[in-house]
Amino acid sequence: MDVYRDQLAAFDPDIFSFIAAEERRQSAGIELIPSENYTYPEVLSALGSVLTNKYSEGYPGRRYYGGQENTDAIENVARERACALFRAQHANVQPLSGSPMNQAVYFGLLAPGDTILAMDLSHGGHLTHGAPVSHMGKVFNFVRYKTEPDGSIDYDRVMELAKANRPKLVLAGHSSYPREYDYAAFRRIADAVGARAMADISHLGGLVAANVLANPLDAGFDVVTTTTHKSLRGPRGGLILCSAELAKTIDSAVFPGLQGGPHMNQVAAAAITFKKAMEAQFLSYARQVLANARTLAGALAAGGAQLVTGGTDNHLMVVNTVESFGLDGRQAEETLDRIGVTVNRQIVPDDQRPPLRPSGIRLGTPASTTRGMVEGDMELLAGWMISALQAPEDTAQLADLHKQVSEFCRQFAVPGVEQS
């Protein structure tokens, strides 16, 4: 790989310089965006392999191009490992990312105009769960459930919504909800109205694979989707798990329904990721992600941060920075950027502020845990964050905090990046 790096530096020094700068940024700062992580060096190797040269439209044994003996074997291994890891009857490893992954399920199981019951965006749902600005929100009729003032889900109220609207699909999934789901309750709601049950565990995929969080398939869900990066630490991509009954429907919805040929370098990288997730050290990692999240949430709350739902049961948390520090989410994000801590601005339940200047920030612990940080490090991190958010105009203090963060990060390598 070093020879290719040297070739890139010689041929296109502009792009090379930006890549090198991003390596330095990732190494010198702390990544807290919960959807981001550091992938394995083996995954980077597969993504940069000759598999990127190969078209493989179709499925193993039924391709539309020749020369598929190796790609067929790779995809079969990826599917088998995914099924074993998640205890699924069938796996489709071809979705290019999370959004088309979910779209394929909708188009495979439903007709345009059908009703889907899903979580409201501001209460933790995802754009593909029917946000009005998304195309899916225009194609299908989404009815949205919300959380209660304490952050819990009133499953009786969700049942009432389901009975009043008769959805064809009940969707349990989120992108910013810090609590655990009662999947059995969602299954009962779906059964009560004759609907399919779908779970989007894109954020939780690695934690579910490690069995530190509940697996919706164990509760009898028809379909489960997850991205292969985030807490799984794999390539950017999507994975659909389903019952054997739905295998042909789901496969047809992905190809030829929604996309052409899969990216076989991505499929190979996903296969590597699934093997990694079967190792004992991945279980230790997943447990540490949760321990770090609980510690970080507790330390932030002790420092005056108001957390949506009051804490976390998983890897992420949402802080209402307007209520806590008088800063909107953009101001808080930019302040923390100045000390080398990366988060993302985030809407809070029923947020009245615009999306680019929402009331909060979202943060999580998968990436910091990948680098080897533990509970004591989370307490240090919370202290730095509180100090910065309490004094966003104190340039000297922010500079000192940035120096402390940068020096601290020297202890923790970023996988795949050489330490300078």
Catalytic residues, which ones? 55, 57, 200, 227, 230, 236
Q: b/e string for 9-43 if b means 16 or more Cβ within 10 A?
A: eeeeeeebeeeeeeeeebbbbbbbbbbebbbbebb
Please count the residues of the chain.
420
135 annotated binding-site participant: no
Distance CA 38, CA 245 (A): 35
Distance CA 184, CA 7 (A): 54
Q: Decide: 136 and 99 in contact? Cβ < 8 Å.
A: no
Q: Which residues, including other chains, have CB under 8 Å from residue 14's CB and lie 6 or more apart? A: none
245 annotated binding-site participant: yes
Helix (H) or strand (E) holding 401: helix 395-409
Distance CA 347, CA 349 (A): 7
246 annotated binding-site participant: no
213 annotated binding-site participant: no
42 annotated binding-site participant: no
Helix (H) or strand (E) holding 90: strand 90-92
Distance CA 420, CA 408 (A): 14
Task: Please spell the DSSP secondary structure of 131-197, one letter per residue.
Answer: -TTSHHHHHSEEEEE---TTS---HHHHHHHHHHH--SEEEEE-SS--S---HHHHHHHHHHTT-EE
Known binding residues are 121, 125-127, 245
Known binding residues for (6S)-5,6,7,8-tetrahydrofolate are 121, 125-127, 245
